[in-house]
């Protein structure tokens, strides 16, 4: 199970728990007239079929993959300038799209890749040269390369942290929306089906009424 599905299932379980508390409170009067009708709901099915959740997860996965691609490009080309790293990352992401790259973009990507390879080869040459044989210009260039590698590592970590925090905020906001909609749909369906209590199928596999399909339909209409 992915982290995203665990998040949604945990949220749905919380909604069901609140529903159980609310319905049990109102069920005391019903006990006198025929008892409690129990409904069940499959949270895994809700998570996988509720379009708001599936669309959100799909979009988030695209963002995660794009970030990974960008940071991988930065890491593989640490001696390019930040601007050139960003351009190469943009081109790499675009190359993975159905449209691909134009001839001009391919030329630009090749030029940036060559510049990165040339800088890497120069760094390796400088690192393999005896310290006493390095000129002042060589030492300055070597120091610049080392600083560029360090700066790239720092920017990668910063970018990762910033995006992760942004996604956490987006997830929190989406959870509020899902909580409201699922709670409303579940309550309405349970009432329509005459159910006093609703449990997850993980807890009660064989309830009197399976509300899952009806809840999914209500959510996606």
pLDDT category at 62 given cuts 50, 70, 90 is very high
pLDDT category at 35 given cuts 50, 70, 90 is low
Cα distance between residue 163 and residue 67, in whole Å: 8
pLDDT digits (tens, 9 = 90+) for 74-87: 999 999 999 999 99
Question: How do the residues of the chain divide into helix, strand and coil, expressed in percent and rounded to 5?
Answer: 75, 5, 20
Q: Model's pTM, two decimal places? A: 0.79
Q: Which residues pair with 209 in a beta bridge?
A: 39
% of the chain with per-residue pLDDT over 70: 84
pLDDT of amino acid 66: 96
Cα distance between residue 135 and residue 147, in whole Å: 18
pLDDT of amino acid 28: 39
pLDDT digits (tens, 9 = 90+) for 94-153: 999 999 999 999 999 999 999 999 999 999 999 999 999 999 999 999 999 999 999 999
**64-68, 85-89, 144-148, 191-195: which range is least confident on average?**
191-195
* Measured CA distances, 208 to 37, 188, 193, 196, 212 (Å): 7, 17, 10, 11, 12
Higher pLDDT, 202 or 42: 42
Q: Is the pLDDT of residue 179 over 70?
A: yes
HSE, CB side, 13 Å, CA atoms: give it for residue 114.
6
**Phi, psi for residue 200 in degrees, rounded to 5:** -70, 145
pLDDT of amino acid 20: 47
Largest CA distance in the chain: 97
Q: Is the pLDDT of residue 212 over 70?
A: yes
Scan for tokens 């040269």, then name that residue. Answer: 129
């Amino acid at each position: 199970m992915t982290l995203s599905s665990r998040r949604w299932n945990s949220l749905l379980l919380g909604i069901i728990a609140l529903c159980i508390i609310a319905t049990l409170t109102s069920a005391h009067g019903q006990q006198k007239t025929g008892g409690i009708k129990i409904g069940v709901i499959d949270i895994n099915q809700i998570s996988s079929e509720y379009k708001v959740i599936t669309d959100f997860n799909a979009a988030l996965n695209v963002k995660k993959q794009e970030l990974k691609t960008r940071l991988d490009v930065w890491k593989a080309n640490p001696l390019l300038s930040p601007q050139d790293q960003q351009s190469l990352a943009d081109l790499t992401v675009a190359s993975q799209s159905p449209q691909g790259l134009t001839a001009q973009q391919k030329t630009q990507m090749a030029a940036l890749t060559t510049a990165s390879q040339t800088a890497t080869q120069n760094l390796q040459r400088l690192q393999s040269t005896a310290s006493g044989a390095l000129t002042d210009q060589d030492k300055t260039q070597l120091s610049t390369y080392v600083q560029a590698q360090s700066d790239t590592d720092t920017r990668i970590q910063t970018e990762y942290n910033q995006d992760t925090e942004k996604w956490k905020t987006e997830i929190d906001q989406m959870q509020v929306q899902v909580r409201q909609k699922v709670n409303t749909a579940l309550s309405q369906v349970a009432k329509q089906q005459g159910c006093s209590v609703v449990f997850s199928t993980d807890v009660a596999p064989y309830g009197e009424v399976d509300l899952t399909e009806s809840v999914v339909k209500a959510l996606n209409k």
